[in-house]
Structure 1
């Protein structure tokens, strides 16, 4: 749970108030649900469904489905790749809630690995040994996330192409989607048309490991 405009929870709470509560009554299949999201700046947020607390706030994902249109959406086209990755990841979590945990773990490992790299040259031998462990975690989570992104792009492509054709009319350029990655197996930006064989998470994990070894070897040699 987060705002699409600010990185912290505080601006979402009225000035002078200690917390904010968002309630929604909705239907999921044959069930009627009352979802209450308690936003607590500086403390853990809490979620209740039909008055019962959920173990983790992210467990509410998949129960409440919303669509947001905002000026910031232009960043998908005009912004840098970070914006497009964020959009895909948020859509992935909506479609497959368990990926929220994978995404969170990936971000955590990436930060810890980057922190280690900053001190790697001070204690090279031990740092490299520890770095191998973090690389393993990073490529494991990264392979899962990347496979899900590629499948999402492949699934979105025909819908996007059809929607564009309906707006642009006959004779217009055919629109398509592609994915560009520094991991060659994941794509080079070539448009996805007529179906796309998506690599498995295991294949992408192996490809990411090869790429990391290659880049790390170049980095140490140049040092």
Structure 2
């Protein structure tokens, strides 16, 4: 199925416009790129380590994650993937994937053929620069995650990731008054933070008691944004957002 509706591409457009301003012709070409839109259930692989894909996946809705698995089956989540992300964009040039990408919640995924992306990059150098910048921001996020998992402790580690998720979701218009959807389980946080699920549960209860977060089902509310940022030693500079409201 091919689509040319802005409804499908708006997450990508919002994501790119959080880091630079698109011209009208650039917006139009993004709105009219062909892609196959697929709905994928939660806890399913989108692509697997070792694959050699001929297309890249755009997260249109839902939450996904990039992960690796040890020989004995232990999973390490290395990033959360949100609407507007193209988490396997590197497959344009690195032909074999060195990680897997799976859904956390039900997701709508737009698969864009590599030949279409190569043509786009040839004809629109500013979009090429924007996509290249996105891969550099991904690398910046990986570095911050390494610092977070390697050197921060307990609730500080969790607070930092929650701050990042809120800012990234705000950048694509999915946060209102410090409230957002958060369909990430304690087990998935454990795989991302290097904790056991039991320890994640204790940290969440501690953060609730300290007034850092409120959770109602899959909705996260931050009562005091400044307090949570201080708890996580969070500075949004590593996300390199040009939209000041998103980064605030």
The higher relative CO (CA closer than 8 Å, separation ≥ 6) is in: 2
Pair in the same fold by TM > 0.5: no
TM-score normalised to the size of structure 2? 0.25
| Higher-helix-fraction structure | 1
TM-score normalised to the size of structure 1? 0.27
Larger Rg: 1
